[in-house]
Amino acid sequence: MTWSSPLALLREAVRGQRERERDLRTLASNLPHEGLHRGRQPNRYFPGNAIKTTKYSLLLFIPMNLYEQFHRFANIYFVGLAALNFVPVVNAFEPEVALIPICVILALTALKDGWEDFRRFQSDRKLNRTPCLIYRRKDKQFVVQCWKDIRVGDFVKVVSNEIVPADLLLLHTSDPGGVCLVETANLDGETNLKQRKVVSGLATLTSPCEPELFNSMVVCEKPNSNLNHFKGFVETTEKKKLGIGIDSLLLRGSTVRNTEHTVGFVVYAGCETKSMLNSSGPRYKRSKLEHKLNYNIVYCIILLCIMCLIGALGHFIWLQSLPSAPPYLVPDSHGQHIPPPLSGFYTFFTMIILLQIFIPISLYVSVELVKIGQILFITNDIDLYDEDSDSRVQCRALNITEDLGQIQHIFSDKTGTLTENKMVFRRCTIMGTEYSHNENAIRLAIRKESDMDEDVIFHQQTQPAQTGWTLDTEEADFGTSPQSQQRRKADGNDGGDMAFSSLLETEVVPDRKLLQRIERREGGSGAAMRSSSGSPEATHHADFFLALAICNTVLVSKATAPKRRANQRSSDSVSSLPLKAFSNLLGKITSLRHIIASWQPMSNEPSSVAQDAEENLDMDHNNVLSSDNNVFGDHSTSGGQTRGLGANVCYEAESPDEAALVYAAKAYGFTLLARTHDSVTVRLPHDKVLTYEVLDTLPFDPNRKSMSVLVRHPVTRELVLYTKGADYAIMELLGTPYAENRLGNQKTIAASTQRHIDWYAKEGLRTLCIAKKVLSEKQYSEWSLVRREAMVAIDNKEQLLMDTSVQLETNLTLIGATGVEDRLQESVPETIQALREAGIQVWVLTGDKTETAVNIAYSCRLVDERDLVINMSSKCKLTCASTLDCALEEVRRSSGDPLAAEKGFPGLAFTLVIDGGTLAMALESDLRDRFVELAGHCRSVLCCRVTPLQKSAVVRIVREKLQVMTLAVGDGANDVNMIQAADVGIGISGQEGMQAVMASDFAISRFKHLKKLLLVHGHWCYSRLSNMVIYYFYKNVAYVNLLFWYQFYCGFTGTTMIDYWLLIFFNLFFTSLPPLMFGVMDRDASAELLLAVPKLYRTGQGAADHKFSFWITILDAFYQSLVCFFIPYWTYQSSDIDLFSFGSLMNTISLFTILLHLSIEIQTWTVVHWVIMLGSVALYFIVTLAYNALCITCNPPSNPYWMLQEQMADPVFYLVCIITTVVALLPRYTFHVLRNTLAPSPLRRARPLDWSNPSTKEHWIKERGSFRSSGEVKLHGPSPTLAADHGLSETTSSPPPPPPSPRASSDITGSDVAVNVIGRSARNPL
């Protein structure tokens, strides 16, 4: 080992810091330098792969932990007072005794922190010792070593189903196409497989893998936490630059799937890996109640200073009034007494020490313990458990549980939050012709109704798995065998553990008319094989479904992959269909006429659904009931081995939209068979297999709103660009025939397609446009040069890549569009209605079209049929300003209309619908206040076509301008900004991964869980914690004031009449558990009542009476302390009772008074309450009696021997305890009686329902729930007397009349602008 000078070490450390902070770092292979000194290693400045998440070390634990704890002001305050007590001139207690309370608090906190850190140490050690394969030059092979031995520049081999140990640049895979499939569930929660590919153009690592041949340099960006972004390039020995991105990076924590082995080059290790940079502990937010608590602490400090000033002034006056110094005042060493002014100054600090528990020392610790108990109850609530996903609610932020009870605004995403995010292919339009897919609508309607009817079970002989449709073979499969035929839920969640693979999503019944055209053209001309010959109509139809199958990122994997469970179907013989089931099915099919009839795009369309339905309804009716017609099963034509291959493939999609479109293409015979980084294989109808060369993929971009795939046709060798995207984005990219000067049939196609898209959106369907473009070789070669330059760029790489995508996606040819349905989640309408009754304003922020959002809003009862909908859409800022002014004028006039108030309408209910462009202008500084005011008058707000940044901006502005408590709920990565901007963020662990969950404070699996989480647990948490905090202040103030009143009789000298040890034990042990029990288990109303009467939630909103309750409680504490002091004082005034016996009596009285005060506040008594309350009293007497019997000289010069025993033998002791306690609590009890009698709160009026018998209570809840679901505001109590007596009868015999006619105007007009106001129906503007 060589010696290095300190200067050299310092210079090396500075150089290493500079290397790590550079924007670009150059990495080389470690193999040529293996075995050399660390100073000669090329990557020596970068950290190793060992991780350390612990905060402390064994030697520095105590000082570091104390440093952490002293960040809390309360700890500094109490340690300072304990140190001040060591000053002889100001001490009030024995210095050692005064240290006990703060030492106990610090020790308990240190033990908790130490245990948590030890758990982290164990986890780190286990992870660092995980085995892996690292290539070593001296062994000429991969050897088994630990994760901690990996260094940047090493070559690591990862086999199938193993976790990647570091961030690796993929150089070799066992797959001939250089592709590796990984699962990133440990990073972002997404279970679908993602494709990673070997660095394109790097031919050094051939099979077998030889890392020693790698002589290139890797240049990459410095580490960052973005899991979806990576940029750099590989510079070969020939100075050729090969661009690398996230598609070539294996992230630490991801798992290799369906790939035998991979080899990668380590670019980031240890704490610099992306997964470690994203690792963080529980989120810490300061709750609103904590802010109020800090203010209360300040008020108590002010009161404490006032009392100390009174003590100092009183001591000065007392000394001045004495003719001479009394003998018990000890002079200093020079025989001089302290002057009265200086003595009064010292007394000020003595009083601070004496009255220090005026500030509750254990309040912060108690609040943390209560919150842990509340979280335990929330996470173990069976009603918040989702059986389908096997997940429960997660509390990721441990200190804002009480904020759940104060929410005033909820901001929600739509897709995946209000809806299932399970996309079902419903309709499509190709070259201006609309295909209604009536058969598929019938299948979905039957599945939905049969899922809701538990008695209908279909028994039918199962058929072999099939993949396509023809007109000749249509075999029915109404169900599976009895062994596997269990009742399916409406979401169709029965597709194993693959993402987006339920039967609801994968089964598509083709449209008969469209299938006939494809079968006829395919059989006649083979147009799908040729893109430039044959029937043009057939070419367009083939291109449409080829685009659905090719233009995506869907991966194809084997059905027997280790990741998945085999989803087998039993082939047991089953009985025939029962007569009852047949009759029910017949009735359901007959009832579908109105469903089919309602699906008509427009009355003047020849191919509308209405005409198709009338022509084919009887035929469809018979086909559905026929045993030869396959409705529910997987369908296919007859085929050979290729068709069998298509039946066994499994699709791994990154989004449910892509999965739905791929399954739709498969239903028409265009089956995606395989995908690599440079090819995609599709099986066409009649078993024709084509392998397209993938030249480039332009991934989806939120700015472009589109995705494209550039392929080479295997037969014609044409270069074809298939593009799909949002309708408004694709329509702007159409070529000259489709632009403003388009003519003839081409113009009609675009107009018809746009008309179909608009109708799809009004019906709540998600729409995508499909287009194509044929490129010449020259165009492609010129574009590819620009694309390669953008790929190897480091600076501004994203913008350059987007520019190349925009350059290529021009002059497109429109093929058609799709309509995909995203169903509402279970109980969403009921949840939103309950939240609105609770006084919570619900906003929906979505990127969907306005028509889609409005349709969903009506479906989920966010918008009522009686609401007036203000639809704002402006192209310029001036129009936006005029629109806001007109809308505000109308809203203000309607809100203050006396005619409406006389008729029972205090104001009309408004709903605001605004698009993204208008919202951007409305959020500018000069219009922001007007927009917020308008939104504040609206009951619901829908923001459509908004970006993630706009979502967070809306949340932030509303929270700051209106000063309200906000909650944001979402399920995708685009909701992260919104979730983090709100006071409370809730993530839904749905189909789009776990990005929203990881950024949230709470995580749920269903939107319906929000109802109980807020209305029940939120209400309980806030009421419990706020009452416990106020009680803590009361307890300490009432007890410490006993010492203050005694100062008036001892010359304000700072002496106490209560034994020091009992004084400490009183707050530390005797009265510590009851408040904790009160904060964790008290319940002012049952969960059933809170859910049945959501208006009870409003008691926590705003919480304006918190400050009033605090000051009333403080005054009550002063009064009770006066009673507890002066009644015993007057009783024993002329007796010979000693000082500490008098203090022991007051200690006992205070215990009874404080505990009985809590008994008055407790709303619900359980066995736990009785045990803790009686146990606290028993503990007091046991400890005090034992202390008086055993501790004779514990506190010299006092002698507590047998003190309480003698008092308990005196009947006066019991009489004084009873009278004093009653007199002290009489005002509090009287106040509660009068308030609950004369002005009862809504909670108090509702509580008799909890006390009523269970059958009456259940009847009332069911009756009220039926009225709420029907949209009426009718609140019937269990009996007329009960409802009338307790204020729960807000009864109206009929629904409210329509709004007053003067306000039902068609438009809000003003200065050249009209705001569309939609009246009783979203589809019929007034």
- Residues marked active site are found at 413
Please choose, from the candidates 1057, 1140, 1055, the residue with its C-alpha nearest in 3D space to the C-alpha of residue 91: 1055
Q: Which residues pair with 141 in a beta bridge?
A: 136
CA distances to 219, 296, 1268 from 365, in Å: 50, 16, 43
CB-based contacts of 1251, cutoff 8 Å, min separation 6: none
SS3 category, 144: strand
CB-based contacts of 1304, cutoff 8 Å, min separation 6: 868, 1298, 1319, 1326
Provide the b/e sequence for 1133-1142 (b: ≥16 CB within 10 Å): eeeebeebbb
- Could you tell me the two tokens for 537? 């109509």
Integer Cα distance of 1325 and 1306 in angstroms? 7
> What string of H, E and C letters represents the secondary structure of 306-321?
HHHHHHHHHHHHHHHH
DSSP structural state of residue 1300: P
CB 794 within 8 A of CB 233: yes
CB 1029 within 8 A of CB 1009: no
CB 839 within 8 A of CB 849: no
SS3 category, 1087: helix
Provide the b/e sequence for 905-929 (b: ≥16 CB within 10 Å): bebbbbbbbbbbebbbbbbeeebee
List the strands of the sheet with 255-257, edge to edge: 190-197, 179-184, 255-257
Helix (H) or strand (E) holding 754: helix 744-762
Check the CA dihedral 1249-1250-1254-1260 and report its sign.
positive
Query: What region does 1102 belong to: left with phi over 0, alpha with psi -120 to 50, or beta?
Result: left
CB 1077 within 8 A of CB 1168: yes
Cβ atoms within 10 A of the Cβ of 657, count? 22
Question: Amino acid letter at 229?
Answer: H
Q: How far is CA 478 from the centre of its chain?
A: 39
- Could you tell me the two tokens for 1308? 């809000």
- Could you tell me the two tokens for 750? 């675009």
CA distances to 293, 375, 567, 1025, 1026 from 288, in Å: 9, 18, 50, 12, 11
Helix (H) or strand (E) holding 691: strand 688-701
Please choose, from the candidates 864, 964, 878, the residue with its C-alpha nearest in 3D space to the C-alpha of residue 924: 878
Q: Which residues pair with 391 in a beta bridge?
A: 386
Integer Cα distance of 362 and 1115 in angstroms? 22
CB 1243 within 8 A of CB 1280: no
Cis ω before 208 (30° cut-off from 0)? yes
Burial class (CB in 10 A: 0-12, 13-18, 19+), 357: buried
Q: How far is CA 514 from the centre of its chain?
A: 42
Q: Following CA atoms 636, 637, 641, 644 in sequence, which dihedral angle do they give, to the nearest 10 degrees?
A: 10
Please choose, from the candidates 449, 488, 450, 460, the residue with its C-alpha nearest in 3D space to the C-alpha of residue 630: 460
